[in-house]
Chains A and B, each alone.
Chain A
Amino acid sequence: MSVEKREARQPWILLSPALTAVTLLLFVPLLFILVYSFWLRTATGADVAGFHLDNWEEALTDPFYRDILISTLRIAAITTVACALMGYPSAYFIARSQGNKAVLLLLLMLPFWISYIIRTMSWINILGVSGALNSALMAMGIINEPIQMLYNEVTVILGLVHFLLPFMILNIFVSLDGIDTNLENAANSLGATKWQAFLQVTLPLSLPGLAAGGLLCFVLGAGTYITPLVLGGPRDAMFANLVFEAIITQLNWPLGSALSLMLLAVLGALVMIYNRYLGMAQLMKGLG
């Protein structure tokens, strides 16, 4: 074998373990559940192979699934907007701070490392009947009886924002940090006010970061399973809870497959639209 041929082969040898793993553990299983979603669950509990549209019909037409899909997307959208509103000024503060940017960023990344389940449950300590907020309000004499603040859609969104905000801030920060501050100075010297310079120069240049953060918040938020269980009420199930119900509780695997793929299709479409207009590179920057 010539040296060039061996050289050309080497990267593929290095890549093959990872590519094999992703193929066998992700792409083939996804294809498999696509096929499986057309199988039929029978009363005896055995699945019959074949091409049946029953699961898809149920998943797509049952108003129960549709309503939960819509409310899942609504919760994800509100979460994303809240993350953007809370995150943009914070990211701007870090990016334009005269102080130690690395430390400010690290501080913000610390909650990122803290366990998801711990961060989710921590809100019970704040908002619970005998939590910090109720205790404080009662100690100050503002209320006499503790208020039930937990277990509703608002607390689900709160938990999600707490979980996803660092993703948003990191992405916006990466974008803002890459903008030459001289551009703003130039706009100012040409007569723009600080606010005009921000709106017409900085904000548009940071939109890719905002979009990347938004996509991550939305996709991760819409796929959530634990937050509604810990912080939501009995009626606050999200789409992932339906999938878990179908697969683990009811063992209706064909229906669970169809529901999973429905979620994948909706969120996948979003990722593709994003990729089409902005490309994956921006997303990779904010994740790495």
Chain B
Amino acid sequence: MGWALIRGWAVLVYIFMFLPVAVVVLLSFNASQFGNFPMTGFSFRWFVELAGNEAILRAFRTSIILGLLTALISTTLGVLASLALVRYRVPGANAISTLLIAPILVPEVVLAVALLLFLNFLGVNKSFGLLLAGHVIFTLPFVILVVQARLVSIKRDVEEAAMSLGASPVQTFFQITLPLMMPAVLAGALFAFTISFDDITGTLFWKPGGVETVPTQIFAMLRNSISPEINALGTVMIVMTVGLPLLGLAIARAMARKSGT
């Protein structure tokens, strides 16, 4: 009796989480002019319009370049720091961890204001560089958390074995540690990319005039009214942000199986 109640509750919560999103996908195939019910028929026309919308394509390009650069920088910094925290005995490791996680604990608006005003004080105007710096600092804690969690499960023995067979530390890193770490590195990079791709609050503060990322473009389009085109864009975003991590998960698993860990 109790368990049935709990299960029923959980099912309702799942419906609550998925229903609004499912409706976005459903309505993106609406043949009608308007992005709402009742649907008049099934059509791909809004996806075709999307593909021809210069502003949206530009926003996609910006978001992808920004996401890739953010992932590259964030993952590099994050992997190095995680290696230090997991592989070495660092005095004050707990305090350092907390320090590196701090950007999550500061409300994003505050982080956005502080960075914007400080860089402006230094003579750096709103630019792609500021946007990139903001995204890096915002994604870094997540990368460190994810990479650290995975790194702990990689045994040290293999590295020691390589060293005892005469490999130098650098050789050991590139031939043993890095390949073993690859799933963690990829997971971190993917996480950074997805968070950067989705960020809107900080981006609205940091982006130079005229530059839009996909979320700020959607936000600007919402000012008018919700159109089938926004729903189509939403569907594309859902496929990207859900599909990419799932793909990443599959790749990470395949790699882990191949390397036998």
Q: Residues on A close to B: CB < 8 A?
A: 7, 10-12, 14-15, 17-19, 21-22, 25-30, 32-33, 36, 86-87, 89-90, 92-94, 107-108, 110-111, 113-119, 121-126, 128, 130-132, 134-135, 139, 162, 165-166, 169, 194-195, 219, 222-223, 225-226, 229-230, 240, 243-244, 247-248, 253, 256-257, 260-261, 263-264, 267-268, 271, 280, 284, 287-288
Which of A10, A17, A32, A128 is close to B114, meaning CB atoms less than 8 Å apart?
A32
- Is A30 a contact of B106 with CB atoms below 8 Å? yes
Known: A110-B242, A115-B198. A21 touches B110 (CB 8 A): no
| Complex: A238 Cα to B230 Cα, angstroms | 25
Contact of B49 with A by CB under 8 A: no
| Complex: A139 Cα to B96 Cα, angstroms | 59
Q: How far is the CB of B192 from chain A (nearest CB, A)?
A: 13
- Is B148 a contact of A288 with CB atoms below 8 Å? yes
Known: A93-B7, A195-B2, A243-B113. A17 touches B77 (CB 8 A): yes
| Complex: A255 Cα to B101 Cα, angstroms | 27
In the complex formed, the residue of B with least CB distance to A7 is B88
- Is A263 a contact of B23 with CB atoms below 8 Å? no
In the complex formed, the residue of B with least CB distance to A135 is B37
Which chain B positions have C-beta within 8 A of A119? 20-21
Which of A12, A32, A114 is close to B241, meaning CB atoms less than 8 Å apart?
A114
| Complex: A139 Cα to B23 Cα, angstroms | 17
Contact mask for chain B residues 136-164; partner A; CB cutoff 8 A; 1 contact, 0 none: 11001010111011000000000000000
Q: How far is the CB of A230 from chain B (nearest CB, A)?
A: 6
Which chain B positions have C-beta within 8 A of A123? 20
| Complex: A219 Cα to B104 Cα, angstroms | 10
Which chain B positions have C-beta within 8 A of A94? 10
Contact of B165 with A by CB under 8 A: no
- Is B100 a contact of A18 with CB atoms below 8 Å? yes
Q: Interface size on B (CB < 8 Å)?
A: 90
Q: How far is the CB of B47 from chain A (nearest CB, A)?
A: 15
Q: Which of B53-61, B64-72, B175-183, B218-226 contacts A (4 or more CB under 8 A)?
A: B218-226
| Complex: A147 Cα to B241 Cα, angstroms | 33
Contact of B97 with A by CB under 8 A: yes
Contact of B201 with A by CB under 8 A: yes
Known: A17-B76, A288-B145. A26 touches B238 (CB 8 A): no
Q: How far is the CB of B69 from chain A (nearest CB, A)?
A: 14
Known: A21-B77, A26-B103, A165-B13. A10 touches B88 (CB 8 A): yes
- Is A125 a contact of B35 with CB atoms below 8 Å? yes
| Complex: A110 Cα to B244 Cα, angstroms | 11
- Is A12 a contact of B84 with CB atoms below 8 Å? yes
Q: How far is the CB of A138 from chain B (nearest CB, A)?
A: 9
| Complex: A235 Cα to B21 Cα, angstroms | 27
In the complex formed, the residue of A with least CB distance to B90 is A11
- Is A19 a contact of B106 with CB atoms below 8 Å? no
Q: How far is the CB of B3 from chain A (nearest CB, A)?
A: 8
Contact of B208 with A by CB under 8 A: no
**Residues 84 to 111 of chain B near chain A (Cβ within 8 Å):** 84-85, 87-88, 90, 94, 96-111
In the complex formed, the residue of B with least CB distance to A256 is B113
Known: A21-B77, A113-B194, A114-B241. A90 touches B10 (CB 8 A): yes
Q: How far is the CB of A174 from chain B (nearest CB, A)?
A: 11
Q: How far is the CB of A213 from chain B (nearest CB, A)?
A: 14
- Is A36 a contact of B117 with CB atoms below 8 Å? yes
- Is B137 a contact of A280 with CB atoms below 8 Å? no
Which of A10, A125, A195, A257 is close to B24, meaning CB atoms less than 8 Å apart?
A125
Known: A122-B21, A284-B145. A130 touches B36 (CB 8 A): yes
Give me 4 other A-B pairs in contact (C-beta within 8 A), A18-B100, A86-B16, A118-B24 excluded.
Answer: A18-B144, A110-B242, A130-B34, A280-B98
Known: A110-B242, A225-B201. A243 touches B136 (CB 8 A): no
